[in-house]
């Protein structure tokens, strides 16, 4: 879809869209860490919390990239 300069994006909508990243990125990291820690307790290991942490961080970055790329296509 071509960019239409007469259609200005709502600034409050843009603020809401980008401020949700401030919640999603840390939440994905914490959830990954908690799942990894729970698996560590259940399976009696000591390294799965780190794998969960890395997966949570990766999920946060994926959401960041998805949000930025969708905002570029909206323009």
State which residues form the domain around 36: 23-69
Task: Say how far apart CA 58 and CA 50 lie, in whole Å.
Answer: 12
- Looking at residue 53, its pLDDT comes to 96
- Looking at residue 13, its pLDDT comes to 82
Task: Say how far apart CA 75 and CA 38 lie, in whole Å.
Answer: 42
What is the C-alpha radius of gyration for the chain, rounded to an integer number of angstroms? 18
- Looking at residue 39, its pLDDT comes to 95
Phi-psi region of 67 (alpha: psi -120 to 50; beta: other; left: phi over 0): alpha
Mean pLDDT of 11-16: 82
Give the model confidence (pLDDT) of 33-55 as tens digits: 999 999 999 999 999 999 999 99
- Looking at residue 67, its pLDDT comes to 85
Q: Is residue 12 part of a domain?
A: no
Angstrom CA distances, 52 to 5, 11, 63, stand at 44, 36, 16
Domain count, the chain: 1
Is 60 exceeded by the pLDDT of residue 16?
yes
């Amino acid at each position: 879809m071509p960019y239409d300069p007469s259609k200005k994006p709502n600034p409050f909508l843009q603020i809401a869209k980008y401020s949700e990243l401030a919640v999603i990125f840390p939440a994905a990291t914490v959830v990954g860490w908690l799942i990894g820690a729970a698996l560590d307790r259940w399976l009696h290991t000591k390294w799965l919390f780190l794998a969960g942490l890395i997966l949570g961080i990766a999920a946060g970055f994926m959401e960041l990239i998805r949000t930025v790329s969708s905002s570029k296509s909206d323009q």
